[in-house]
C-alpha cells in the first residue's frame, strides 16, 4: 500500500470518526432540547407573579398530589366518551381497558422502560400534560388489527366437525406501537420469546422503527440541526393480552397515562 493511499484512508477514517461523534452528540442533545422546550412552553403558559419564588415541587407530597389530580382528571374526561379507552398505570404496573370509566379488562405489566424525558422534564409540566387523555394518531403492528375470517357453510351436519380448523392466529408475533397527539409513543411487546419466528419478528419490527428514527436524525444532522426526539414508553405484557388490547382500542382512541 503506497503512502498516498494510507494518507487518504487516515483522512477518511478521521472524517468518519468525527461524523459518528457528532451524530452521537446531536442525538443526546435532542433529549435536552425537547425537555427544555417542553418546560419553557409550560412556564410561558403560566401567569407568573414577580414575588412568586416558591418551588412547589420541592414541597413534600406536592408531586404525589398533582399526579393523583391529573390521573383522576384524565379518567373523568375519558369516561365522557362512549368508546373503549386505554388506561396505562406505569407506577402500579397495570393496564386496563375502560368503557365509561369502568374497567372491562385488567392486565399486569411484566416489565417496562420509560424515556428519560419523563424524569428530566419538570414534573408539574408533565402532569399538566397528562391531566387530559392522549389521543391516538397512528398504529403499527406485526399482525392485523381487524382480521378477516372467511368460512364456507357446511352442506349438512356431517361436515361441521370436518370444516372446523384450529385457530393459528395465536402463533402470530405480537408487537405494536401507538403514536399520540402529545408526541409520546408507546411500544407494546409480547413478554414471551419462545420460538424463532417471534425473535425474528421482534428484530425486524425494532429495526424498522430504528431505521425510521435514524433516517430523520441523519437528515437533521446533515443540515447541522438538532434531530427530533420522541419520548417513549415500552411495555412488555403477555402475548394474548397484547393482541386483545390492540384489537380492542379504537384507531383514534384515548389513552390515560400516569407514571
Of all residues in the chain, the percent with pLDDT exceeding 70 is 76
* Topology classification of domain 3-46+59-145+169-258: L,D-transpeptidase catalytic domain-like (2.40.440)
C-beta of residue 188 within 8 angstroms of C-beta of residue 242: yes
**pLDDT, tens digit, 9 for 90 and up, residues 191-235:** 887 677 787 888 888 888 777 777 766 676 666 667 788 999 999
The set of cell numbers assigned to 4 is 498516498
> pLDDT class for 50, splitting at 50, 70, 90?
low
| Of 122, 131, 135, residue with least CA distance to 42 | 122
Residue 81: which residues within 8 A CB-CB, separation 6 or more? 254
Q: Please tell me whether residue 139 adopts helix, strand or coil conformation.
A: strand
Asked whether the beta carbons of 227 and 31 are under 8 A apart, the reply is no
Task: Decide if 73 contacts 132 (C-beta within 8 A).
Answer: yes
Q: What is the DSSP code (8-state) at residue 150?
A: -
Report how far apart, in Å, the C-alpha atoms of 138 and of each of 173, 182, 258 are.
20, 12, 20
121-175 residue pLDDT tens: 999 999 999 999 999 999 999 998 876 555 555 655 555 454 444 444 457 889 9
**Residue-averaged pLDDT of the chain:** 82
What φ, ψ does residue 16 adopt, rounded to 5°? Answer: -65, -40
- Tell me the range of 22-26, 211-215, 245-249 where mean pLDDT is highest: 245-249
- Domain boundaries, given as residue ranges, for the chain: 3-46+59-145+169-258
Average pLDDT in the 90-97 region?
Answer: 95
Where is average pLDDT lowest: 82-86, 94-98, 142-146, 148-152? 148-152
Q: Would you place residue 108 in the very low, low, confident or very high pLDDT band (cuts 50, 70, 90)?
A: very high
Q: Phi/psi zone of residue 198: left (φ > 0), alpha (ψ -120 to 50 degrees), beta?
A: alpha
What pLDDT was estimated at residue 177? 95
d(C-alpha 248, C-alpha 160), whole Å:
30
Q: What are phi and psi of 186, to 5 degrees?
A: -110, 130
Q: How do residues 60-75 score in pLDDT, each as one tens digit?
A: 788 899 999 999 999 9
- Residue 74 to residue 129: CA distance in whole angstroms: 10
Q: Are strands 232-237 and 185-190 parallel, antiparallel or unpaired?
A: parallel
pLDDT surpasses 70 at 251: yes
229: buried, middle or exposed (CB in 10 Å: 19+, 13-18, 0-12)? Answer: buried
Amino acid at each position: 500500500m503506497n503512502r498516498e493511499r494510507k494518507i487518504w484512508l487516515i483522512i477518511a477514517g478521521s472524517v468518519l470518526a468525527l461524523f459518528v461523534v457528532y451524530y452521537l452528540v446531536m442525538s443526546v442533545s435532542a433529549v435536552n432540547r425537547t425537555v427544555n422546550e417542553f418546560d419553557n412552553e409550560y412556564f410561558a403558559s403560566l401567569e407568573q407573579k414577580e414575588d412568586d419564588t416558591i418551588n412547589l415541587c420541592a414541597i413534600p407530597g406536592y408531586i404525589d398530589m398533582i399526579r393523583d389530580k391529573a390521573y383522576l382528571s384524565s379518567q373523568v374526561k375519558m369516561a365522557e366518551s362512549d368508546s373503549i379507552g386505554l388506561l396505562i398505570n406505569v407506577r402500579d404496573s397495570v393496564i386496563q381497558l375502560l368503557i365509561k370509566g369502568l374497567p372491562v379488562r385488567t392486565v399486569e405489566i411484566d416489565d417496562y422502560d420509560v424515556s428519560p424525558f419523563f424524569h428530566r422534564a419538570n414534573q408539574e409540566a408533565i402532569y399538566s400534560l397528562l391531566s387530559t387523555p392522549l389521543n391516538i394518531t397512528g398504529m403499527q403492528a406485526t399482525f392485523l388489527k381487524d382480521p378477516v375470517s372467511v368460512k364456507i357453510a357446511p352442506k349438512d351436519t356431517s361436515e361441521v366437525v370436518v370444516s372446523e380448523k384450529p385457530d393459528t392466529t395465536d402463533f402470530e408475533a405480537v408487537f405494536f406501537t401507538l403514536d399520540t397527539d402529545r408526541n409520546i409513543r408507546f411500544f407494546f411487546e409480547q413478554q414471551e420469546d419462545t420460538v424463532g419466528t417471534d425473535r425474528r419478528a421482534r428484530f425486524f419490527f425494532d429495526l424498522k422503527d430504528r431505521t425510521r428514527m435514524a433516517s430523520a436524525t441523519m437528515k437533521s444532522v446533515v443540515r447541522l440541526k438538532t434531530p427530533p426526539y420522541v419520548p417513549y414508553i415500552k411495555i412488555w405484557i403477555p402475548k394474548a393480552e397484547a393482541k386483545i388490547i390492540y384489537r380492542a382500542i379504537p384507531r383514534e382512541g384515548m389513552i390515560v397515562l400516569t407514571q
